Structure 1
Amino acid sequence: MLVSLLQFLAPDSIPKLADHWPTIVASTVFWYALHIAAEPFSRRMFPKAFNRLSPRHQEQWCIRTVSFFHACVATALSIPLINHPVLADDPLHGYWWPAGQVFAISLGYFIYDVSHCAYNVKQEGFGFLLHGAVAVIASLLSYKPLYNLYAPTVLVTEISTPFLNIHWFLDKMNMTGSTLQLANGAMLLITFFGARILFSYYWSAKLYIFAYQLSDQVDMLTRVLPALLLLTLNALNFFWFFKIVNAIVKRFKPPTHPTKSQ
């Protein structure tokens, strides 16, 4: 199975990848450069908050800065591609060069992201590493090309990421439990549930049905791999949604006052 997967993702089996290598490389370099620039910028703009953080949390600050900007870019560029007629004309092998460029920008980010998750796996957890790896593989499928109609719907779920990162930044700026964090927390829950649960599950179901209908036309890996990737992302999103709810509830839960006897 592993050998088949490696052959399936070998460079010579991804013909459209060569058309987007410059953008993928430039994007990867850009996100690394932004990570490097985030430290001196943050020291100057947020000296009280950033300078008192531990080296580990300073690194996290820079990672989340990059994540914030990528999410804004990916969302803005992906929304116009949803149900785009060029891609919808052939849901299996549809390809459009401008869409490939959008996917290349995000692929560069996912390469950056998965490298940091691998390096900091003890702190970040295996879930984030798995998410990054799945995102890289899913991006590569766009250049076979396969299922490009559904690729923008995955990137659009990044709409919740800026609110997630702002929530973290507010904690580190001693604004935990503030009105601003409450408003941001509400937006985080709305966008996460709306995009990563409702919207994502709807489009995943459409892909599952479409892949099932192809059972007599394509090989099993072509049908099963995208479904497994989406299933993994959806499971992680479901798990993270309840962790986010629990974290927000803890921040805004009224403190309990001890009784006189206590």
Structure 2
Amino acid sequence: MIFLAFIIAFTVRQLWGSQEWLHRDGWWLDWQRRAAGFELGPWLQLLLTVGLPVLLAALVLDLLRPFLFGLLWIIAAVLLLLYAFGRGDFHALMARYRDYCERGNGEGAWLFAREELGVEVATDNDPERPLFDLHQQVQVSLLYDGFQRWFAVVFFFFLLGPAAALGYRLLQLYRETNREGPVLRLLLVLDWVPARLLAATFVLTGDFVRSRDALVAMVGDASVAAGQLLQSVGVAAAAPVTRESPLLQAAEDVDALSGLLRRSGVAWVLAAALFAILG
């Protein structure tokens, strides 16, 4: 049933986009504000804010399983998975940054990275260095964004079920308003396995020789954040064409990384199908 729910949700997302009508987080933000009024410790606050909705979702799913041969469970699982996917149009974000770079609009790319992606890079006396550092950070941000929007959600959906996928999305929403504290440490742990699986997928769907060495060098380092790992392996796997202009090179990099993410997404869908057949 879980594979059928995944295929339905995946098809809906591919045909009709990110389903913004479902991505209404006001109910959870209200609950987060109410829970904050209890003045609990950081970990208890996180557990209450995220754990209670996940527990309720798991209980409802368990109650629905026997009815109509599991049809109600499948419908609920599809809705939870669609809700757990990332907000907005990720590929549109990549395309906008790419367009700024391709047109040679460095200032536009800088403002977009700062305002839309939250990337901050300090300037210095070297005019080329800030642009290089900016693009490096944009790559980290975009690859982690793509990872947490879809790949990590799918990983936890298959591993622990729809309620776990919901829990991962709520943790990411919690991170947006709590940049410090236990949520970052918890996400570092939760991202460890799926980020390395995605990096391994990059190796298989990209330049194997170059990216294999990058993966081997970082795969066992627990201190490496998911975004940094994905950037290091992803850039090596994407192997973009070299361009003379730094901005044109940035646009070429984004094109190559976008293609790499799409191929990796297809690989994960095929792996999910194989998982369902063997399971």
For the criterion TM > 0.5, the same-fold answer is no
Relative to the length of structure 1, the TM-score reads 0.30
Relative to the length of structure 2, the TM-score reads 0.29
